[in-house]
């Protein structure tokens, strides 16, 4: 079964402005790369039912499962369906929106797990698994959840920061102070995911909240982007683009191709205007 992406996955630049809210520019695209035979990434951006808040998300099907593309598509389709039925509070309420994101992702995880469990060949065969990074942009606040290693970056001025934690074995051991940061890069199986959506009954997405200022640029992406380009290089490209997100997209994707494009690469860029 192949779940189509075309309804929600837009690849054109658009300025979107709901009434009395901050304007955001959104540019998004996804490429299979030069090595992988299929694209297991999915992305989405959409307004809520009242056109008050903008949601963006990226999901990357887990490479160890054969149906990663189905898992990432299913997750985002269910997330968008819930988002378009979501009734935002009259006043900006980051906690309320954050709770929605967390609970919805957990509910979808349980659905995927149950699909895996009733599979004809058992729960461990042809299982559905995916990462998730999802963010909701309000007037002056961004709330987000993630599980896995699809990062969210913010470029403010000339400074690029990764806002989310990559849930892999090496990073978890560093966070628990069991290994030193310099040991993480050479740790055997260090990139093995510790959090994800689908294969386990209990998801534990991590929650975040950050302020939004005019000129901030956020990038939600699959791990294929930082696999090929270090964060400081991503930041330099954005800072030298004079705010042209289409130019940024073209340059970043072009450089991943120059370096072999060994993985799928997906980006959603959101700029606060």
Q: What is the pLDDT of residue 90?
A: 72
Strands (E), 61-181: 132-137, 141-147, 152-156, 159-162
Q: What is the rounded CA–CA span in Å between residue 223 and residue 76?
A: 17
Q: What is the pLDDT of residue 49?
A: 87
Q: What is the rounded CA–CA span in Å between residue 207 and residue 200?
A: 19
Q: What percent of the chain has pLDDT over 90?
A: 74
Instruction: Confirm if 56 and 134 have CB atoms less than 8 A apart.
Output: yes
Q: What is the pLDDT of residue 125?
A: 59
> Which pLDDT band holds residue 190 (cuts at 50, 70, 90)?
confident
Q: What is the rounded CA–CA span in Å between residue 250 and residue 178?
A: 40
pLDDT digits (tens, 9 = 90+) for 225-272: 999 999 999 999 999 998 899 999 999 999 999 999 999 999 999 999
The residue among 129, 134, 128, 137 whose CA lies nearest residue 150 is 134
For residue 16, what is the DSSP state?
E
Winning range, highest mean pLDDT, from 9-13, 90-94, 188-192:
188-192
Instruction: Confirm if 144 and 100 have CB atoms less than 8 A apart.
Output: no
User: Helical H runs in the chain?
Assistant: 68-85, 94-117, 169-175, 181-184, 224-228, 231-239, 245-258
Q: What is the pLDDT of residue 5?
A: 38
Q: What is the pLDDT of residue 120?
A: 44
Cβ within 8 Å of residue 117, ≥6 positions away: 123
Fold of 14-161+196-272: Phosphatase 2c; domain 1 (3.60.40)
Q: What is the rounded CA–CA span in Å between residue 205 and residue 195?
A: 7
The residue-averaged pLDDT of 7-36 equals 70
Instruction: Confirm if 210 and 163 have CB atoms less than 8 A apart.
Output: yes
Q: What is the pLDDT of residue 67?
A: 82
Task: Report whether pLDDT(51) > 60.
Answer: yes
Residues in the chain: 273
Q: What is the pLDDT of residue 8?
A: 36
The residue-averaged pLDDT of 48-72 equals 88
pLDDT digits (tens, 9 = 90+) for 155-177: 999 999 999 999 999 999 999 99
pTM for the model stands at 0.90
According to DSSP, the β-strands at 265-272 and 14-16 are: unpaired
The residue among 163, 145, 164 whose CA lies nearest residue 154 is 163
Q: What strands lie across the sheet with 41-47, from one edge to the other?
A: 41-47, 54-60, 132-137, 141-147, 206-211
Q: Where are the domains of the chain?
A: 14-161+196-272
Q: What is the pLDDT of residue 15?
A: 53
Q: What is the rounded CA–CA span in Å between residue 252 and residue 246?
A: 10
19-54 burial, b if ≥16 CB within 10 A, otherwise e? eebbebbbbbbbbbbeebeebbbbbbbbbbeeebbb
């Amino acid at each position: 079964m192949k779940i189509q992406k075309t309804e929600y996955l837009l690849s054109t630049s658009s300025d979107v402005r709901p009434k009395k809210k901050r304007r955001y520019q959104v540019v998004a695209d996804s490429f299979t790369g030069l090595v992988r035979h299929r694209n297991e990434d999915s992305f989405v951006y959409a307004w809520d039912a009242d056109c008050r808040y903008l949601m963006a998300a990226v999901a990357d099907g887990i490479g160890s499962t054969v149906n990663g593309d189905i898992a990432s598509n299913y997750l985002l389709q269910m997330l968008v369906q819930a988002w378009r039925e979501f009734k935002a509070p009259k006043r900006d309420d980051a906690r309320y929106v954050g709770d929605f994101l967390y609970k919805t992702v957990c509910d979808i995880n349980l659905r995927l797990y149950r699909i895996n469990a009733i599979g004809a060949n058992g729960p461990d065969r042809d299982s559905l698994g995916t990462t998730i990074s999802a963010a909701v942009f309000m007037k002056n606040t961004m709330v987000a959840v993630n599980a896995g290693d699809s990062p969210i970056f913010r470029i403010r001025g000339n400074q690029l920061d990764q806002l989310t934690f990559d849930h892999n074995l090496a990073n978890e051991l560093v966070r628990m102070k069991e290994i030193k940061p310099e040991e993480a890069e050479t740790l055997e199986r260090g990139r093995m995911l510790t959090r994800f959506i689908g294969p386990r009954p209990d998801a534990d997405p991590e929650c975040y909240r950050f302020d939004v200022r005019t000129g901030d640029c956020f990038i939600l992406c699959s791990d294929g982007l930082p696999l090929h380009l270090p964060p400081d290089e991503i930041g330099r490209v954005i800072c030298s683009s004079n705010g042209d997100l289409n130019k940024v997209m073209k340059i970043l994707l072009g450089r991943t191709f120059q370096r072999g494009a060994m993985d799928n690469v997906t980006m959603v860029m959101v700029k606060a205007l």
